[in-house]
Amino acid sequence: MAGWLKNCSTALGVIAGTVLLAPAAAHADSLIENVNGMTLDSDGKIIRFAAMVVDDEGKVKQLLDRKDKRPRDVDFQFDGKGQTLIPGFFDAHGHVMGMGFGALTLDLSDTRSLEEALAKIARYAADNPNRQWIIGNGWNQEVWGLGRFPTAAELDATVSDRPVFLSRVDGHAAWVNGAAMKAAGISASSKSPSGGTIEKAGGNPTGIFVDTAMDLFGNAIPAPRPVENDLALGKAQDILLANGVTSIADMGTTMQDWQSFRRAGDAGQLKIRIVSYAAGIDNMIAIGGPGPSPWLYDDHLKLAGVKLYMDGALGSRGALLKAPYADRPKESGLAMLTSAQLKNKMSRAAMDGFQIAVHAIGDKGNDEVLSAIEEMQATYKGDRRWRIEHAQIVDPSDISRFAASGTIASMQPVHQTSDRLMAEARLGPDRLHGAYAWQSLLASGARLAFGTDVPVESSDPFAGLGAAMTREDATGQPFGGWMPEERLSREQAWQAYTNGAAYAAFAEDRLGSLEVGKRADFLIIDQDILLATPAQVRNMRVLQTWIAGKPAFVRK
């Protein structure tokens, strides 16, 4: 992506709406007063308070009721004017740099038809004549009602003078034009790589590359420069803070990403807290070396483990299923790794104490990962907190295996509302039990950790809370919820987005709730989260975001 951005001197500058504070001198306690404060403890019990004392390390020192005496020796006092204060959200699964670059490149997530997408691509190309490649993301043929994938020919009719590479909304397929294929040396004789598919018609590539086939363009697309990475990180942080996300598990951190995080930390510009899961074993070794990193920059950064892929996504039919797809009976998905490869990679990570998070969406994919975990447990004992990322389609007979193996289900509620119609088409009505089965997993004793998978979905956690509580989309469809028996209570959903996500990242001792000794990361929001209707929860606004007892975002 080199060359696509000018005036990068603002990479670590002030972006509207965000408060960048100069390093402050050591001070005594701060008092956050006159608030409608609430948090959940590790058991999901609601704790209410009217004031909070924050020590000079940015940790919660006291939670006070209205009748409790206030400390006199404070250096700073904030009057919340009775507004609601809650802990910052912990997004259990996101892609920080992908989010930042997505916000700075062509975004097709708001397009509702192929024609609308092509028109937007044409405008973007015209407005950016100096960019070597047109890079974008967010397209979704299901939303377009296209009934098929888009083609290179359709892109060529719009942009033919330079390569175009557009990632699908789930990041598991790419739509490219002829110039991109030429640049990558792809022709009719090109073979699909293991774990991926080059879609072809009449023996020729159609312009759609699924899962590992996307990697064929890796050497052709110019890599972003460090200054561009830093700008993307700054943009991502601004969006996260505005949405009330104070911590995030970055799923798929590369060495370049880590270097950007470290540069921001060294410069005092790492505002959010990032728990990194390296993008595969090579990055894990390059970043972590002999093991996970310690917490850095006052609990702002840590390499915890590694992210692996078992299968692809449901939308691109890469999710690995036990039976063929209902809408394409000759296909059952893509295994990114064989059983032996998966266990070898997991063993390599586990022997050095790295936590393991494995992407699995289809029921066969989840079965494979659960089987690997069950086998690993005999050798790698102790509190491992194995994670399955997404766990979207699980055979009902496999649900109990999560709790039995101590496997955390790291899920994204908004995927259910976004994918509902597509899931029905892919699986058929008889195979939906165990799809996005939040309540069944929780009732079985499994732990839930909620996130957004940003930039696949918006990083707004309130939309996820609303979806988890109702299983209805933003328009209230379907009325009463899709498979409503899997709805969660308000407290259950909130817990998964805070303490549950912190526990999943071995961070519950310092993050996830507002309790004595934990970091004072909190939000001022415009409504009472416990009294608001689900529709109101969806539309809540973050007025202020504080990190370690200091304001990091104030809405203007």
Per-residue pLDDT of 325-355, as tens digits, reads 999 999 999 999 999 999 999 999 999 999 9
**Mean per-residue pLDDT for 238-253?**
98
Q: How far apart are the C-alpha atoms of 334 and 183, rounded to whole Å? A: 26
User: Taking a C-beta distance cutoff of 8 angstroms, is the pair 502, 304 a contact?
Assistant: no
The model's pTM is 0.87
DSSP 352: T
Task: Tokens for 445, please give them.
Answer: 């004793």
Look-up of token digits 């009775």: 82
Q: Which tokens sit at 465?
A: 């809370």
Q: Are 90 and 246 in contact (CB under 8 A)?
A: yes
In tens, the pLDDT along 354-381 reads 999 999 999 999 999 999 999 999 999 9
Q: What is the pLDDT of residue 27?
A: 56
Q: How far is CA 497 from CA 43, 92, 336, 446, in A?
A: 14, 7, 29, 15
HSE toward the beta carbon, residue 13, CA cutoff 13 A: 8
pLDDT digits (tens, 9 = 90+) for 66-106: 999 999 889 999 999 999 999 999 999 999 999 999 898 99
For 346, other C-beta atoms within 10 Å of its C-beta total 24
Model pLDDT for residues 506-546, shown as the tens digit of each residue: 999 999 999 999 999 999 999 999 999 999 999 999 999 99
Distance separating alpha carbons of residues 486 and 234, to the nearest angstrom = 37
